[in-house]
Amino acid sequence: MAVTYRWRAIFPLAALALAPAQAAAQGVDDNAVASASDAFGISVGSESIGIYSEGDVRGFDPVDAGNTRIEGLYYAPIDRLPDRLMRSSTIRVGIAAQGYSFPAPTGIVDYQLNVSGESDQLALSFKRAQFGSLVADGEAQIRLSDSLGAFGAAGFRAQNRHEGGDFLKYSFAGGLVWRPYSGASITGFGGTVRFYDDETPPSIFPGGDYLPPQIERKMTIGQSWSKRDNRSSIFGGVAKLPMGAWLVEAGSFLAIRDTPLTFTDLIAEMRPDGTTPNRVMIADADNRDRMLSGELRVTRTFGGADLVHRISLSLRGRHGERRFGGAQRIPLGESSLLFADERPKPEFEFGPQDHDEVRQGNLGISYSLTRPQRFSLDVALSAGRYEKTVDFVGASSLATTRDNPITGSVTGTYSFTPRLSAYGGYIRGFEEVPVAPSSAVNRGTAPPAISTQQADLGIRYALTPDLSLVTGVFSITKPYYNVDRNAFYRELGDSSSRGLELSLAGSLRPGLTFVLGHVSLDATISGELVEDGTIGPRPIASIRRRSAVNLDWRLDEGESPFSFDVSVESLSERVANASNTLSAPAREIVDLGMRYRFDLGNSRALVRLQIANVLDDYGWMVFSNGAFMYSQSRRVLAELRLDLP
């Protein structure tokens, strides 16, 4: 039985609260840099690298767009997956999406489950995080028989936020996997995570072309009574059954999110000195989201060694229901960001709630033709039926939107030489729009799904057998949604994101692994509000450039117990308001780390130390609605892993 113990000191709080869900306990040899085949984005355990993430791919959010998969099968999300349930995630975009069935324009986040059960393993984690936060996690993989395995995990967090306040969190996950014959598996799983006693940090909106003043980290400037409560759960099953030349895959997933109480603290029209004439607290209660989704896919492979054909039939569907609205606006008037401005807890009076329901089904067929070492061609076509119905309180009738989208893709690769190949494609998709933000008068409203399209073209060159360069260009277009001059969330025009991306990844020499990524973006908006000068030509929160470098060096040509790692991320200025007259400054974040591997009795062990944000950069994050939030401070991570035989 293998056991992993971990202690962490001064861990980054916002990474736990805002970043993608942390995954299973990592083994001694787990390393995101060493696992990466490109720089487009990969997560292994709690380590994530790359120029893209779950919430940002080529300037868009693939999770909000509904472009997520679990073990390669369609899954419609309503939230991030619960902690402990995910082993890793991969961003499928550009060359990483070639050969992937039914790709999507905004990219795909593909989750790999942590349910294994192939051998007995136990993992325990105890951490002391930033500002004295305490974290404890545990998980077990149990081999019940040659064909049956089980998985179970639990976690608890008492977090102190870098932006002030604190929260409590617990999570549970578990599952069973049955392998009836070689290559086949049937997995059932479930997981839940709850945040509570979560004090709301303020969302800052400058009243002019100036940045907020620097706010002392950890100082609580929110209201002590604004404690949010949120619970997300997912239950599902995945079957993968090869039958000679046939492969049957099926996945069914039920996701539920309950929000008994939530708040939004709006610092509107902030003055240069950090004061505001218009602070508003929005209280919302008893919201619920429920989504049932899944896919059945049958694939037939035929042909010889020189030419391989693959045909897939796919049936996808989802049925979602939402209960939202009834929020209460609580005006607090004159206030400040620079000190705790505590107000008496009000009496809450919530209004009646709205409901919406969405149904969608897609029938698709894809064909793949591959000649190994020479070319590949993938063609997919899907026809769907879509219906969204919204029941607004006080409306005389239901608001219903229907569509019959036709989506498809053509992608392919061609190898000119064993070292040089080209890739490209065109994808037309049908995606969700993020719900209206809390700053909108119609907050929580979900617009109908939209048609999107993408074209990309690039090359891959193997500099050495262990080091590859990928560079390409892309263009994505879709309708643009945001708040208008009356704070109403609606379609404001069309958005276009054109860019150049580069990835250099692999081994420079034995023991030295290198991952470099860069993306240059030209994100623009067009429409009547741009033409009349109401808004600028670039979307809020867009950037012109992101660059990331990760280096992992294990001494003695990869045989030493010591290794050192460096991570550098550089971001250009970020558009910070609708008129494009304010920008958040460029940022550079540097992390330094080391690993030491050793034997402890019959066990293999690893000590990992890391200093994150070495330069203690103080920067501003900007969200798509124009809200500001300041970045984390310098922090230290210490970790011990121990694998017992």
pLDDT the model gives residue 633: 86
**CA angle, 283 as apex, 282 and 286 as ends, to 5°?**
140
- DSSP character string of 159-197: EE-TTS-EEEEEEEEEEEEE--STT-EEEEEEEEEEEEE
Position 418 scores a pLDDT of 92
3-state secondary structure of 528: helix
Question: What are 66's strand-pairing partners?
Answer: none
Separation between Cα atoms, residue 457 and residue 471, nearest integer Å? 9
H-type helices in 500-549, by residue range?
528-531
Q: Above 80 in pLDDT, residue 16? A: no
- Check which CATH number belongs to the domain holding 568 and give it: 2.40.170.20
- Where does the pLDDT of residue 645 fall: very low under 50, low under 70, confident under 90, or very high at 90 and above? low
Residue 27 has a pLDDT of 62
Contact 412, 425 (CB under 8 A): yes
Whole-number Å distance between alpha carbons of 587 and 547: 11
How far is it, in rounded angstroms, from Cα 157 to Cα 83? Answer: 11
For the stretch 63-113, pLDDT in tens is 888 899 999 999 999 888 877 788 888 888 888 888 888 888 888 999 998
Q: Are 308 and 372 in contact (CB under 8 A)?
A: yes
> Over the stretch 199-243, which tens digit does the pLDDT of each residue have?
888 999 999 999 999 988 888 888 989 999 999 999 999 999 999
What single-letter DSSP state applies at residue 209?
S
The confidence score (pLDDT) of residue 641 equals 76
Q: What is the spatial distance between Cα 267 and Cα 274, in angstroms, rounded to a whole number?
A: 9
User: Is residue 6's pLDDT more than 50?
Assistant: no
The mean of the pLDDT values for the chain is 87
- Residues 137-158 have a mean pLDDT of 89
Spatial CB neighbours of 394, under 8 Å, sequence gap ≥ 6: none
Write out the residue range of the structural domain in which residue 333 sits. Answer: 2-643
Report pLDDT for 185: 95
Number of structural domains in the chain: 1
What is the pLDDT averaged over residues 578-602?
91
Tell me: the pLDDT tens digits for 287-302?
A: 999 999 999 999 999 9
pLDDT (average), residues 458-473? 94
Q: Give 112's contacts (C-beta < 8 A, 6+ positions apart).
A: 71, 86, 87, 88, 89, 90
Say whether pLDDT at 253 is over 50: yes
Q: Is it the case that residue 18 has pLDDT exceeding 60? A: no
Residue with tokens 């294990």: 554
Tracing tokens 């991952």 back to the chain, one arrives at 515
Residue 59 Cα to chain centre, angstroms? 13
Could you tell me the pLDDT band of residue 15, with boundaries at 50, 70 and 90? very low
Cβ 8 vs Cβ 637: under 8 Å: yes
